[in-house]
Structure 1
Amino acid sequence: MKRNSLVNKLLFFINSLVATALLLSYILPFISPKTIPAFAVFSLFVPLLVIINLLFLGYWLFKLHKNVLLSLFVLVIGVFISTPLIKFSGKEVILNDDIKVMSFNVRMFNHYKWNEDATTEQQIYTFINNQSPDIIALQEFYHSKSLDIKLPYKYIKTKSKTNKFGLAIYSKYPIINSGSLDFEHSANNTIFVDVLKNKDTIRVYNVHLESLKINPNKENFGEKDSERLFKRLTNGFKKQVDQTNRISQHEDVWIGKKIVCGDFNNTAYSWVYKQLAKNKKDAFIEAGIGLGKSFRYTYPMRIDFILTDENATINHFKTFNKLNLSDHYSIMTRLHW
C-alpha cells in the first residue's frame, strides 16, 4: 500500500506541473513574442500538454481517485477559453454553390529529393487535380518545368526572376487583382488575389510566415545545441510578429468577402494565430473532426489553416493525412456565402 501511495504522490506531483503549465498556456495568445520570446516557444508544446493531461485524467478515472479533479478542471477551462485540440464531430454538407478551397505546403514538389520516390512531384499534381479544388494556395512552391495543375487562372510570386521558390494561388475563377506583401529579410512571404465568382469578389490570402526550420528527423531539430535552437526559434517568432502585423494592416482595408489560408509556422495557441483569426471562422473548428494535425511530427501540430470572414458558412473540412507527399498535410474546406 505504501508503495502505491508513493507512486500516486509522484504521479500527482508530475500531474500538477503539467496541469499548471497548461493553465498558464491559456494566456499565450495574449502575449506578443516580442514581449516575452520564451512564451512563444512554449506555445509549440501546448498540444503535448493537453495530451499528457488527458492521459492523467484517464489514469485517475481508472483508479477512481479524487486526483482526477485537477486535470479535469484545467481541461474544462480550456474548453471555454482556448482553441480545441480535438474535434469530436465534423460536418459534411455539400451544396452546388460551395467553393472548395485547398491549402498545401508542397515542399518545393520534392525538388531537393527529400523523398526518395522519384514520382512524388507527379503524385502531388495528380492528387491536387483529383481533388479538383476551386482555389488552391501553395506554399514552398517551386516553378518546375513539369508543373501540371489544371486550373485556368493563377498568380505566382517567386523571390526573384532567377529564384523559382515562392508562393502560388491557382483558381477556377478569374483573378482580377493580385499582389505581394514582400516580407523583408525573409525567404517567406504572403500574396493575395481577388477572384470573381459570378458577381462576388473574394479576396484570398496565401500566408507563409517565417519558418522555424524545425527538422523532426534530426537530433535537436537539426541544431547543434539547445541554446542555439532556442535562439533560432525566438528570432523566428519575432519576425512572425512583424509579418503578422503587416498582413493584418493590409487585410483590414478590405471590407469584402475574405479567405486567409496557408502555413502559419505556428500553432492555434499562439499570438500569431489569435491576430490572424480575429473576427474570422477557422474551418477546422467549424467543420473538422479529429486532431487536425497538419505537420508530419510525432504529436499533433496544427500549423496550416483556412480562415474566412464571419459571414461565410463552412460546410466541410478535411485534412489529407494519409499521403506522404510533403512534410505538411494538405487541408481543404467547402464554404459559401
Structure 2
Amino acid sequence: MKKLKLIDKVIWIANILAATMLVLSYSLPFIAPKKFAFLSVLSLAVPLLIVLNILFLVYWLLTVKRQLLMSLLVLVIGYSYVFSLYKFSASKNIEDVENISVMNYNVRLFNLFKWIPATSIKQQIVDFIADKQPDILSMQEYRPDESVNLKGYYKYEELSGQKVKNGQAIFSKYPIIHSGSIEFPNTANNAIYVDIVKHKDTIRIYNVHLQSLGINPANEKLDMETSENLIKRVGTVFRLQQSQTELFLEHKKRCRYKMIICGDFNNTAYSYVYKEIKGDLKDAFVEAGNGFGRTFKFKFFPVRIDFILVDEAFTINGFKTFDIELSDHYPIMTKVKLN
C-alpha cells in the first residue's frame, strides 16, 4: 500500500470496506433477523455491494495493480450471489402444450391513489393480463372492482381493511377445489392458497405477501431519513417477516400436493426469509430468466423481491420479467410443465 498514490489509497480503503461487507452478507441467509436484525438490513445492499466490487476489480485491472485480487476473490467466493443478481444467459422459452403459465403481479391497488398520473392504469393492467392470458395469476395489493373483469377464471381472494378493501387474490383457469388463508397477526399482509386440478393432478398454489418495508421509491423522505432510524425500522420489519415466514412454513409442510409458490416477499434473494421459503424449490428466474430480473421500481439499484418458486415435480420452460410501469412492481411470468 505504501507504493500507492493518495487517490489509490483512498480507493483501496473503500474497496476493503465494500469487500468486507459483501463477505459478511454471504452469511445473512443463515442469520435469523430475530437474533441480529441490524445485520439483516445489509441484505438490501447486496446488489450495490456486488456492483461496487466489480467496479473496484475493473479499476485495479485497468491500473494493473495486484489489489484486484481482493474483489476478485470475494466475487468468486460468492459467484452464486453474482449470478442471482444478473443472468447472462438468454431467457429460456420452450413451447409445450402441457405448459402451465404462472404470473405474479403486485398491482398496487390498481393505482387507486393516483401514484401514477395516467388515468387509465387500471384498464391497462387488465388489458395486459388479458393479452398474456396466464393460466394462473397471483396478485398482491389487489382490490375488487367491477371494472376489473378477468373472464375465464376461477377466483379466490382474501381481503381486509375498512375504507379500502384489499388483499391477495389467485385467479386460475383450472378448477379450484380447495382454498384458504394463512393469517399473519397485526397486519394486512397474509398468505393465501388454492388447490387446482389439471388432468388428474392436484397442484397447490400459494400467494405469499410478507410485511412491507414501507419504502416508496419516489419518496424524498427516504433520502432524509437518518441511517439509524432506517436500520431500526427495517430491522423491525425483518423480524415480522421471519415470524410470518414461520407461520407459512408450518402450513406448507402439511401440504401433500405438488406446489408453486408465488409472492411479493418484500425482501431479496439474499435474505433469510427467501432462503427459508425457497428450501429445496427452484427459483424460476434463476432457472430460466436473464438480465437483472428486477421486480421493484427502486431508484438506487435493481431489486428482485417478487418470486415464483416451484418444486421438483415441474420443469421450468420459460421466464420473463415485463418492463411495464403500471405499478411500483413489475409483473413476472413463468412456464412450467409437470414432469
Give, in whole Å, the separation in 1 of the partners of 2:247 and 2:60.
47
The number of aligned residues is 335
Match of 1:312 in 2: 314
Distance 1:151 1:19, change over 3 A: farther
> Structure 1's 223 and 201: CA in aligned 2 closer, same or farther, altered over 3 A?
farther
| SS of aligned partner of 1:316 | strand
SS at structure 2 position matched to 1:13? helix
Aligned AA (1:287): A
Q: Does the CA-based 8 Å contact 1:111-1:142 persist in structure 2?
A: no
Q: Residues 161-310 of structure 1 correspond to what in structure 2 (within 5 A)?
A: 163-221=164-222, 225-298=226-299, 299-310=301-312
Partners of 1:175 and 1:193 within 8 A in 2: yes
Q: Which residue type is aligned with residue 27 of structure 1?
A: S
Residue 221 of structure 1 and its aligned partner are, at CA, apart by 2.1
1-side partners of 2:59 and 2:265: how far apart? 34
Distance in 2, Cα, partners of 1:145 & 1:274? 38
Which amino acid letter does the alignment assign opposite residue 320 of structure 2? K
Compute the displacement of 1:311 (Å).
Answer: 2.6
* Residue identity matched to 2:93: E
Deviations 1:5-29 (A, max 9, x none): 2222221111111011101100000
SS of residue in 2 equivalent to 1:151: coil
User: Contact (CA 8 Å) 1:82, 1:269: kept in 2 or not?
Assistant: no
2: CA distance, partners of 1:151 / 1:64: 62
8 Å CA contact 2:75, 2:82 repeated in 1: no
SS at match of 2:270: coil
CA distance in 2: counterparts of 1:308 and 1:71, whole angstroms: 33
Question: What is the identity, as a one-letter code, of the residue corresponding to 1:10?
Answer: V
Question: Secondary structure at 2:248's aligned position in 1?
Answer: helix
Q: CA deviation at 1:38?
A: 0.5
Q: Distance in 1 between matches of 2:242 and 2:221?
A: 25
1:38-73 CA-to-partner distances (Å, cap 9, x unmatched) read 111111001110011111112222222211111111
SS at match of 1:266: coil
Question: What is residue 127 of structure 1 aligned with on the other side?
Answer: 128
CA deviation map 1:257-286 (0-9, x unaligned): 100111000000000000000010000000
* Unpaired stretches in structure 1, ≥5 consecutive residues: none
* Counterparts in 2 of 1:120 and 1:222: CA distance versus 1, 3 Å: farther
Residue identity opposite 1:184 in structure 2: P
User: 2:85 aligns to what SS in structure 1?
Assistant: coil
TM-score norm. by structure 1 comes to 0.95
CA distance in 2, matches of 1:284, 1:151: 27
Tell me if structure 2 keeps the 8 A contact 1:102–1:332.
yes
Percentage of matched positions with identical amino acids = 49
| Counterpart amino acid of residue 308 in structure 2 | I
The one-letter amino acid paired with 2:316 is I
The normalised TM-score by structure 2 is 0.95
Are the aligned partners of 1:215 and 1:222 in contact in 2 as well (CA < 8 Å)? no
Question: 1:144 aligns to what?
Answer: 145
Between stretches 46-55 and 74-83, larger displacement belongs to 74-83
**One-letter identity of the residue aligned with 1:255:** R
The answer for the alignment partner of 1:29 in structure 2 is: 29
Looking at structure 2, the residues matched to 98 and 258 of structure 1 have their Cα atoms a distance apart, in angstroms, of 15
* Residue type of the alignment partner of 1:306: I
Structure 2 gap segments, 5+ residues each: none
Contact 1:223 1:229 in 2 (8 A): no
